[in-house]
Structure 1
């Protein structure tokens, strides 16, 4: 089946690692040009080279999307390289720390808010006029299964992802019929989000008093995940590409779980 993405330009936030990198490569395989923002300049450059290996253009700008000034500077720099604008926006950037509620300080609540929710708000607000000029386009927001079915930790991250899902629905109503807005809600995905020093795996290791990967497997058993494994970044990227493509031309205001069956509700 044809995705209709060849020759289109996609902008992805948080593209240096994990789901962001896998998404950049998945779009490149479909013949789309890829613009990328991330704070990790070295990993971002690596992703850009991998994207170019598919014979498409890659545009990469280092940016701190956890601040208003960082978003503005990053978008100004990337849009200067894209005179034709963009066709697809993927709001992917995000980070969470699995701390119990009583250990989450006001400062951490604010950091989680700025990076996970306000980055999406600011990037989308800035790029909506650009997308509207095309007359047709798509936004895909990377949320989380925790935004639909919160666990005990991390409550701050879950709250921001729930807000992201609500905003996805609002934007879909406001921007139809020409701009489709959808979200993916990944479950546990083995990426740098989990494996980085101080990430989810280390946090769960502290909570469960086990080595990191053993603690992750234990957590999956506690959640009674039907597929009994973590997902891979590519498995989320495939769904993001579908939602952005012509194959999903009648899909908007939807939340697609890529979660190994973690969500039990109908």
Structure 2
């Protein structure tokens, strides 16, 4: 199926690893021209371009200046922007009592305010193009919070609220949607100090056993963690003309973790 994304100009944040990396490569494989933003310059240098192109942009998106400068550099490299994928994020398993004000601020700056700041910086260019869209990477925890990590859940719930609001504010010119992944096996989980390690501390188990225990508690119908490719395919679809009547939506790629109707 031709998704008609050839030569589309795409910005992907947090593109060095995990879902962001696979998403950037998926757009390039469709013939898109991608600006890949990440704080890890080495990881950006390892991206595969496919039939399109990928321009690496090293940036710290946890700050206002970092977002503004990265967006300007990406737009300059691409000659504009047609699709913005807000994906960058981080999290750790900490109880409510363990979370300090500084922890909350760091989480919100990267997981939520980077989305606000990148969208603000890109909207003037998006409004000048046709068939433009924003896709925000949220989480099943934004719709169905668990006891931990509460700061992460709150940041993702805020992402969903902005997704809905921007869809109304920018329609019909710009479509704005979100994906809400469940547990996805990426470096977000596997890196030192990532979800698996902090979950191991929380459950007092080895990392792999702690992850399996957590999945059993969540009672996933699919019985496994997802893959970055499974999320990236939905993001690319939402950016394409095939999703031309889709806006203000939240697409769960969660293995059935969310049990509510909404």
TM-score range, shorter chain: over 0.9
Q: TM-score, normalized by length of structure 1?
A: 0.96
- The aligned residue for residue 211 of structure 2 is 216
- Please state if 1:101 is matched with 2:84: no
Does the CA contact (< 8 Å) of 2:139 and 2:179 recur in 1?
yes
In the aligned structure 1, how far is the partner of 2:28 from the partner of 2:149? 33
Shift of 1:78: 2.0
Deviations 1:147-179 (A, max 9, x none): 000001000010010010010000000111111
Shift of 1:77: 2.0
- Note the 1:45-64 alignment, pairs <5 A: 45-47=45-47, 50-51=48-49, 54-64=50-60
Q: TM-score, normalized by length of structure 2?
A: 0.98
1:80 partner SS? helix
Does the CA contact (< 8 Å) of 1:2 and 1:247 recur in 2?
no
Structure 2, unmatched stretches of 5+, are none
Count of aligned pairs between the two proteins = 261
2:184 partner SS? coil
- Note the 1:87-236 alignment, pairs <5 A: 87-236=82-231
In the aligned structure 1, how far is the partner of 2:54 from the partner of 2:84? 15
Shift of 1:181: 0.4
1:55 partner SS? coil
- Please state if 1:257 is matched with 2:252: yes
Shift of 1:113: 0.8
- The aligned residue for residue 73 of structure 1 is 69
In the aligned structure 1, how far is the partner of 2:3 from the partner of 2:51? 17
Shift of 1:136: 2.5
In the aligned structure 1, how far is the partner of 2:76 from the partner of 2:241? 27
In the aligned structure 2, how far is the partner of 1:101 from the partner of 1:204? 14
Structure 1, unmatched stretches of 5+, are none
- The aligned residue for residue 240 of structure 1 is 235
